[in-house]
């Protein structure tokens, strides 16, 4: 179900409710599809350099120049974004690279290959998998530890977490993938506020930090403006706190 639209006042009231309850609205930030240095990546890294950021890197396309660029961005953390971000779902089905459309052993082999390549370029990469298109077959998820993966992040409130895997998802995607443009302030804030409210009410896991999802290579000016405003708003509120992904994914939840 799509959450109702929200505005900045709704976000402020929700964060105020956390403060009144003596609770902290924890949040984190993930950006997908990094491969190499670009002006868009530079803009992303300078948007809020003091906020920890997870960069989901496509290993088959990753370039060593990206590792050099990230040396000047100490708050950025690299993780695995599938193997080559190809869609293997049949026409008419939701896109998926890690779905049930191929043998599980083959998919896990690709992930192990991706992990090896990622760590060749980024020795400090997190043992975290972000499935392309935020979809992963249950059998693939169940075999992640055998491929060297210890954590998982998809989209939406977490449920059915694989055994031995730390999972924390993202909960608002600022892009509309039908139009490939900014989704709009109302829908973006609506999804964010809905998850924060659900945590406070206990209808979603209160310990799952609320995740903001961006895609720097796809952003239009509306997306950039909103992302900067959102991060600034969250940083400024006394009840909101950005978490370091190294802490979020340190051990299975």
Residue 229 inside a domain? The answer is yes
Q: Which of 109, 212, 228 is nearest to 170 (CA)?
A: 212
Selection from 130, 52, 136, 129 nearest residue 99 by Cα: 136
The boundaries of the domain holding residue 237 are 8-247
In a domain, 253, yes or no: no
Q: Whole-model pTM? A: 0.96
Position 253 confidence tier, pLDDT thresholds 50, 70, 90? very low
Q: Does residue 1 fall inside a structural domain? A: no
Q: Report pLDDT digits (tens) over 146-188.
A: 989 999 999 999 998 999 999 999 999 999 999 999 999 999 9
Q: Considering the domain boundaries, does residue 79 fall inside one?
A: yes
The CB-side HSE value for 186 (13 A sphere, CA atoms) comes to 3
Residue 145: partners with Cβ closer than 8 Å, 6 or more residues away: 164, 165
pLDDT given for residue 188 in this prediction: 98
User: Is the residue at 2 inside a domain?
Assistant: no
pLDDT band, very low/low/confident/very high, at 251 (cuts 50, 70, 90): low
pLDDT category at 252 given cuts 50, 70, 90 is: low
pLDDT > 90 in the chain, percent: 94
Distance, in Å, from the CA atom of 91 to the CA atom of 12, rounded to the nearest integer, reads 42
Q: In this predicted model, what pLDDT tens digit does every residue of 32-74 receive, in sequence order?
A: 999 999 999 999 999 999 999 999 999 999 999 999 999 999 9
Per residue in 90-102, pLDDT (tens digit) is 998 999 999 999 9
pLDDT of the residue at 250 = 84
Strand partners, 44: none
For 117, residues 6+ apart whose C-beta sits below 8 A from its C-beta are: 59, 60, 62
Determine contact, residues 30/170, Cβ cutoff 8 Å.
yes
156 vs 213: CA distance, rounded Å: 11
Helix ranges (H only) for the chain are 8-20, 39-47, 64-70, 104-121, 138-142, 185-201, 221-236, 245-248
What pLDDT is stored for residue 133 in this prediction?
97
**Number of domains observed in the structure of the chain:** 1
- Is residue 209 domain-resident? yes
Residue 252 lies in a domain: no
Q: What is the CATH number of the domain that holds 192?
A: 3.20.20.370
Per-residue pLDDT reduced to its tens digit, 99-150: 999 999 999 999 999 999 999 999 999 999 999 999 999 999 999 999 899 9
At 143 the pLDDT is: 97
Nearest to 26 by CA among 234, 252, 251: 234
- Segment 202-229, tens digit of pLDDT: 999 999 999 999 999 999 999 999 999 9
Rounded CA separation 148/144 (Å)? 7
């Amino acid at each position: 179900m799509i959450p109702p639209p929200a505005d900045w006042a709704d976000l402020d009231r929700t964060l105020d409710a956390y403060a009144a309850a003596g609770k902290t609205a924890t949040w984190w930030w993930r950006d997908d599809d990094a491969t190499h240095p670009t002006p868009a990546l530079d803009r992303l890294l300078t948007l809020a350099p003091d906020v920890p950021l997870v960069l989901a890197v496509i290993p088959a396309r990753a370039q060593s120049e990206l590792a050099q660029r990230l040396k000047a961005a100490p708050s950025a953390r690299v993780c695995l974004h599938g193997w080559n971000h190809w869609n293997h779902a049949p026409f008419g089905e939701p896109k998926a690279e890690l779905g049930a459309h191929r043998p599980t052993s083959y998919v896990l082999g690709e992930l192990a290959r991706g992990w090896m390549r990622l760590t060749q370029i980024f020795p400090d990469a997190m043992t975290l998998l972000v499935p392309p298109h935020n979809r992963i077959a249950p059998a693939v998820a169940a075999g992640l530890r055998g491929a060297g993966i210890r954590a998982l992040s998809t989209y939406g409130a977490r449920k059915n977490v694989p055994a031995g895997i730390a999972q924390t998802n993202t909960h608002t995607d600022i892009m509309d993938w039908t139009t490939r443009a900014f989704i709009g302030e109302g829908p973006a804030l609506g999804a964010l506020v809905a998850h924060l409210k659900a945590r406070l009410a206990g209808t979603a896991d209160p310990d799952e930090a609320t995740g903001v999802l961006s895609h720097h290579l796809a952003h239009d000016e509306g997306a950039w403006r909103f992302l900067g405003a959102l991060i600034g708003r969250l940083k400024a509120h006394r009840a909101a706190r950005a978490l370091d992904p190294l802490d979020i994914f340190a051990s299975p939840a």
